[in-house]
Structure 1
């Protein structure tokens, strides 16, 4: 089983939803590579129900190219699928299944490429890096990168195979996900002024988020390569209160910052820390427990690889007919780039327009384009 389509069929059959782990899938990949003489290193999670995988073919030493992908997928719960999401099916040149676009299609092509490269006398190494829990904050790749960095691992560049319709993406925004916990004082709603309404605190804090967003739009930095050419702030979840006749003493608000490269996300977050302190400072005379506590729950750096770089020129020649873009979604590329101090680029089959949706698909034509590009990478490493 070395054909990318056969491998994809097996990968889709593993319901590797982030919450459930990916160990069965990783075990399958490790066994497949091992049977073909390729040694793998596994980086298990503390819970031992998921792992990242790293493998190399070709000569030992620095340099070479990393093919990187995540193996977890988002849930299918509540989505109106018209076919089994964990059974690969094909219709009119479209390959359907959860993760076909994001991003098991690329993972299948990468595994095929590594197996094929094992049969070539490479002059520079080809590496395969597969992670877990990318969908919930790029969790699994971090321990693997930490170990590789300690060992001085430094490839020439990294190819992140997220779906870009086989265009070369040089960048994406960074992200900070945070939770603001607003603490008030409960009271009967008939005596509302004797309490401190935590939902009102959250509403005031939300207004600070919106004010900062307006400032960024009107006077902030811009990068016109993005569809949304500035950093964004967004509140996604607000929860508080237990009954209409009770002044709520607690409310949480989940928000995120997605920043372009020229903006420091921590500086933006510090602005919100300051705003939270000012909002509650005057209330503490009457309500000592009043406060807004902000906790970062997830974050990853952005990616901004110069389009003038040698690696970009190489990738463009390998992709053949590709255009340079920047993508709205996040990837593990910024983590690879910062941890290993190497360039990273994003290019893979399929479109994120299909990712995370019911009846997710990647086209056979996109898979073939990816296979061709990875064959050219192998040939280049052998030259």
Structure 2
């Protein structure tokens, strides 16, 4: 009997242990309800939110911000701000002359040295003769050797030789029914397209709206270069395919300028050698085609100041073909021949209207004779 009781107890213990082992395992399972075919269809069609994938977010298109436009420096007083760029011309022309003139006694050799200094600075023989004769007479009569007085005398003579009364304004004001038109001309290698871009900045700085015409169709990079200059100040560029007729591009530029009602159309032309008759005739054609819409207001000749008297030979031919109204004299900061300003005007009767004094985008300044001479002479010793 005792054995039966022990057996029953062991059986109860074994059954209880078995139940204890089974219960934790059931608690570790997650039983999901059966899924019906209808529910599968709902999930695929988005009918329930239980297993539906999240809706993709709509792609946001971010428009690139327009490039910031340059704000060119105002042209008023720009030459005064750039006066230090004339240091080479200043040393050769201004300070050299003041040193000579301040000697205690000036003999014939001294005056010949004054003449040589002026001629070396490309003032020109005729202008040099006049300047020296007037200086000799005035210093003899006044008997002055004071540096400040000598500087004043020399400044007066140089300003008189340059011509203080010439019209140096750029005629860029629009007409009633059309914009003003400026035509840029010049020989190869003077940086004409770059200068054209800088002139556009001068016009924008003076409050004009500008459209550019890329009529230099011979160089593939010329139109791209001009367009880049225009984009910096918000000016549109009209261009044609490489090798297109320059006159046609120039005509289209003016017509588009009329339609857009801009103030000024600035037309760049290909650089050309002054002794190539065919190219010069083509330049004349460009101007004639433009003038079917109205007269050209300004024809600006770009000259490299470092070429000296050779620049005069170039200028004479251009004036015969297109009637140049003004000169843009570049690279004056890189030459001791600042007197080219005087010789260009005296020989050609054409005023210098703009001068370049560096490679910066705003290093092109309206030419002011008094400020220019003041910069050349520097401070009196």
TM-score tier (shorter)? under 0.3
More strand by share: 1
More helix by share: 2
Q: Which has the larger radius of gyration?
A: 2
